[in-house]
Structure 1
Amino acid sequence: MELRTLRYFVAVAEAESVSAAAERISITQPALSRQMRELERELKVVLFDRRTGRLRLSAAGRQFLDHARDVLHSADVAVGAAETISAGRLVRVTIAAPSTTLTDVVAPFIATFGPGDPLPSVVETDGPKALETLYQGTDLALVTHAPPAQWRSLAVAVFPMFAYVPPDHPKAAHRVLDLPELLADRLILLDHSFRPRLVLQEALTARGLMPRDVVECGNAQVAQALAAAGRGVAVVSDDPRFGLVGVPLTAGGAPLGIRLFAAWDPAHHAAGLLADMARRLQDHCVARYGTGVLP
């Protein structure tokens, strides 16, 4: 069954006349009548009641009309989607990122979207697994490691590592904290599945330093909550919460931070749009976190 035949059927049903429908869709009346009879033979259903002078749908024809309209509507939607794809546009965009990045970076960025932007959805995933989702339908992945060359990527930000303390803590007045100064306190650290912990551990190991008192935590917000409760100094890279003061960390005087990369498939039909979105995210991060955070 061809879509064209279904369109002919709907036209005849709405006009209640083969001649009127034929004129509307620019086909001869005999040809249209032949198409309708062939459709009935194919479906093995009588669609029209021809017993009176006026062409009317049979009971079966009335039921089939709704299905025919649904099929034609779905076909029109599919054609529209194909036109959008061929033009390199996106109706929807899926962004994958770690939980902290989704909360502190992606959500505020999505809040800047306008009516002309694709409808966003997000996928929460940890670390390098975000890149794997590019094989599974994700359009844009945010990761804290430089992606392999098979992906197109852009460094969108470098987020400082902070020591979070209550306002009355002695270290709250520091402009920065170098690693040896940090180790004088009990540290509230994320576990080793989190990039901030790995960055801190690499910097400590490179300088032969070892924390003496550590509380491990599996959530950055809970780490800050523990710091607010006076249980130690939380070392994370996310935005401040619970009234805490964030003191930037340095390692040998150099800022300690986490790079964030946006990655996408260069063969994606909307690769140009995704590149523009990555640059918009970069601008958003600069505006939100300051011009000094980019590499």
Structure 2
Amino acid sequence: MELRTLGYFVAVAESGTVSAAADAVHVTQPAISRQIRQLENELGVELFVRSSGRLQLSAAGRQFLPHAQDVLRRADGARNAARSYAAGRLERITIAAPTTTLTDVIAPFLATLGPDDPMPTVIESDPREAYDALRHGADLAIATEPPPARLASAALAVLPVWAYVRADHRWHDQGSVRLKELATETVLALTPAFKPRQILDRALERARVSAPSVVDCSNPQVAQALAAAGRGAAVVSDDPRFGLHPLEIVGRDGPLRIELFAAWEPGHHAAATLDELAARLREFCVERYGADVAPTG
């Protein structure tokens, strides 16, 4: 069954006569009549009742008509989508990112999208596997690890790793805390699979500071909740919750920072659009967190 033949059938059904349909689709009347006969033979059912040289839809034709119209609409949609792809545009975009990044960066950014932007789908990925998601349907991956050289990429932001304490904590009037001082407090840290914990552990090792008393937390919001309950200082990269007071953590090489990257396949049909979105996301991070989070490289 060819789309062209379905188009002839719909044209005759909607215009009421073969001659009017022929004018509409710019073919001869005999050609349309042959195509309709061929379609009926293929389907094994008469679509029109022929009487006195006129065609009227049969009962089967009336039931078949909406199916044919739907197929043609879908075909038009597919053609339009292909033209959009060829022009480097995206109708939909799938973004993969770790939980914290989804909550604090991606979701707020999506709220700024306009009607001409692609419809986003967001999937949560393990921080260590975000770039692998590009092999499995994701268009854009956001992660805290530098992307492989094979990928097109952009640095998005350099964000602080915070120590959060209650507003009545002894550090409440400080803007920062040194690692040696932090080590005197119970630290509510994420598990070693998370980038903020890895950064903290490396900083402690470089500064040769004895490891603090650490309570492992599998979720950054849980760490902050425990800090709000007065159980220690939560070391995370999330935005503050529960009225906690943020402190920059200063190590041997300066404040602890976590980098954020975007990456995509260089051969993606909409690579230019993804590059533009990454640039917009970088600008959004600067607007949200301040100019000092802008990547320098």
TM-score for the superposition, normalised by structure 2? 0.96
Letter in 1 for 2:24: R
Distance in 2 between residues matched to 1:264 and 1:253, nearest whole Å = 31
1:253 Cα deviation from its structure 2 partner: 5.4
Letter in 2 for 1:72: L
Distance in 2 between residues matched to 1:70 and 1:40, nearest whole Å = 18
Cα shift readout 1:119-147 (whole Å, capped 9, x = no counterpart): 11111111121111101111110111111
Aligned identity (percent) is 56
Question: Which 10-residue stretch deviates more, 211-220 or 106-115?
Answer: 211-220
The aligned counterpart of 1:227 is 227
What are structure 2's unaligned runs of at least 5 residues?
none
The answer on whether the counterparts of 2:161 and 2:256 sit within 8 Å (CA) in structure 1 is yes
Distance in 2 between residues matched to 1:163 and 1:38, nearest whole Å = 75
SS at 1:129's partner residue?
coil
The answer on whether the counterparts of 1:186 and 1:214 sit within 8 Å (CA) in structure 2 is yes
The aligned counterpart of 2:264 is 264
The answer on whether the counterparts of 1:178 and 1:253 sit within 8 Å (CA) in structure 2 is no
The answer on whether the counterparts of 1:187 and 1:211 sit within 8 Å (CA) in structure 2 is no
SS at 1:168's partner residue?
coil
Letter in 2 for 1:167: A
SS at 1:50's partner residue?
strand
The aligned counterpart of 1:284 is 284
Cα shift readout 1:136-185 (whole Å, capped 9, x = no counterpart): 11111011111111111111001101110111111121222111011111
1:207 Cα deviation from its structure 2 partner: 2.2
Say whether 1:114 aligns with 2:103. Answer: no
Matches within 5 A, 1:131-142: 131-142=131-142
Say whether 1:29 aligns with 2:35. Answer: no
Q: How many residues align?
A: 295
The answer on whether the counterparts of 2:206 and 2:252 sit within 8 Å (CA) in structure 1 is no
Letter in 2 for 1:160: P
Question: Which 10-residue stretch deviates more, 14-23 or 255-264?
Answer: 14-23
Question: Which 10-residue stretch deviates more, 126-135 or 49-58?
Answer: 49-58
The aligned counterpart of 1:191 is 191
Distance in 1 between residues matched to 2:139 and 2:61, nearest whole Å = 44
SS at 1:238's partner residue?
coil
Distance in 1 between residues matched to 2:30 and 2:286, nearest whole Å = 68
1:53 Cα deviation from its structure 2 partner: 4.7
Distance in 2 between residues matched to 1:163 and 1:15, nearest whole Å = 72
The aligned counterpart of 2:248 is 248
Letter in 1 for 2:167: P
The aligned counterpart of 1:45 is 45
Distance in 1 between residues matched to 2:291 and 2:101, nearest whole Å = 19
The aligned counterpart of 1:146 is 146
SS at 1:55's partner residue?
strand
The answer on whether the counterparts of 2:91 and 2:118 sit within 8 Å (CA) in structure 1 is yes
Distance in 2 between residues matched to 1:283 and 1:267, nearest whole Å = 24
Cα shift readout 1:31-53 (whole Å, capped 9, x = no counterpart): 22122112212222111111345
SS at 1:121's partner residue?
strand
TM-score for the superposition, normalised by structure 1? 0.97
The answer on whether the counterparts of 2:175 and 2:246 sit within 8 Å (CA) in structure 1 is no
The aligned counterpart of 1:67 is 67
